[in-house]
Amino acid sequence: MPVDPALRSLNIDIPSQPESLVTLSTMLADENINLQAVSALISGDMALASAVLKAVNSSLYGLRGRVQSVQQAITHLGTREVASVTFAMGLKAVFPAGPELTPIWERASVRGLLMGRIGQAIGVDPWAAHSAGLFEECGKAVLLRHATTRYRELLAQAADDEELLMLEHQEFGVSHDALGAALCESWGLAPAAVASVRFHVLVISTRELPMQLPRRGICALSALAHALMTDPDSLDEVAQAVAPQAGLDPTLVLRGARKIQEQIEAAVAREAAD
């Protein structure tokens, strides 16, 4: 999906993809992925490898023993999830740290994991789904870097993301969903992931998937993940609304989403009990 050309004329910088992620993307595109090369690439960046290991050892991933190397992480979790965590760490690294970004990255980790695992359970591209979840709010980070004080005020003022989009347009002439999609496109994410980032606010607020998109499954996963993260009691209703629009069976989608929710809740409970 091409990004609106009007974005090119705005004086808002979209960060370039780190070189390590460019190389990783190339490796992942190869049908015969060299797992040792992937492990060596991540391990070769000490800061990145440390961040990845810290992430995969969190309760979210539910590993019973502590992982001490990137190779171990790939063995236990698989290439996709380790690569996704690496992309998340790389995304965080291109933005200055700040208190407003912490909850954005925390939500991104949970959302990406939910979307990737539900996608895997129901046959929707799990790599693109995980990536879309990780990058969904990255446009907010772009605007925070561009105008920290002004955007901080908008975040505090907006009651929800729908209102935030309106305030962003008034202040900057562009909204975080469009900027996020531009970043995703420039980093080479799959078109379906770019589209999900571009339309996620609309999908979540209306439960209507854009008809112009040929592949709407990842947009549906965005709505499901949002329901699980904000109002789990609404999951049945959301699944019934969005699954048919994406050509998916609502019963199977709901079953997959509930299974992943239970797995993550069990992992968190085990860590709390240890």
Instruction: Note whether residue 4 is domain-resident.
Output: no
**Of the residues 68, 93, 118, which one is the last residue of a structural domain?**
93
Instruction: Note whether residue 253 is domain-resident.
Output: yes
- Domain region containing 254: 98-273
Instruction: Note whether residue 109 is domain-resident.
Output: yes
Tokens linked to 80: 């996709």
Same-domain pairing of 104 and 87: no
16-51 pLDDT, tens digit each: 888 888 888 888 877 788 888 888 988 888 888 888
Number of domains in the chain: 2
Identify the CA nearest to 267 among candidates 114, 116, 136: 114
126-164 pLDDT, tens digit each: 989 999 999 999 999 999 999 999 999 999 999 999 999
**Of the residues 58, 75, 93, which one is the last residue of a structural domain?**
93
Same-domain pairing of 103 and 88: no
Same-domain pairing of 210 and 229: yes
Q: What one-character-per-residue DSSP string does 222-256 give? A: HHHHHHHHH-GGGHHHHHHHHTGGGT--HHHHHHH
Q: At what angle do helices 138-146 and 176-186 cross, to 10 degrees?
A: 100
For residues 164 and 155, the answer to whether their CB atoms sit within 8 Å is yes
* Residues with Cβ within 8 Å of residue 261, at least 6 apart in sequence: 114, 228, 232, 235
Per-residue pLDDT of the chain (274 residues; tens, 9 = 90+): 444 454 444 567 788 888 888 888 888 877 788 888 888 988 888 888 888 888 888 877 777 778 889 888 888 888 888 888 888 888 988 898 889 999 999 999 899 999 999 999 999 999 899 999 999 999 999 999 999 999 999 999 999 999 999 999 999 999 999 999 999 999 888 999 999 999 999 999 999 999 888 889 999 999 999 999 999 999 999 999 999 999 999 999 999 999 988 887 777 676 666 6
* Residues with Cβ within 8 Å of residue 267, at least 6 apart in sequence: 59, 60, 61, 62
Single-letter residue type at 196: S
Same-domain pairing of 125 and 260: yes
* Residues with Cβ within 8 Å of residue 52, at least 6 apart in sequence: 42, 70, 73, 82, 85, 86, 89
**Of the residues 72, 93, 114, which one is the last residue of a structural domain?**
93
Same-domain pairing of 266 and 208: yes
Same-domain pairing of 58 and 130: no
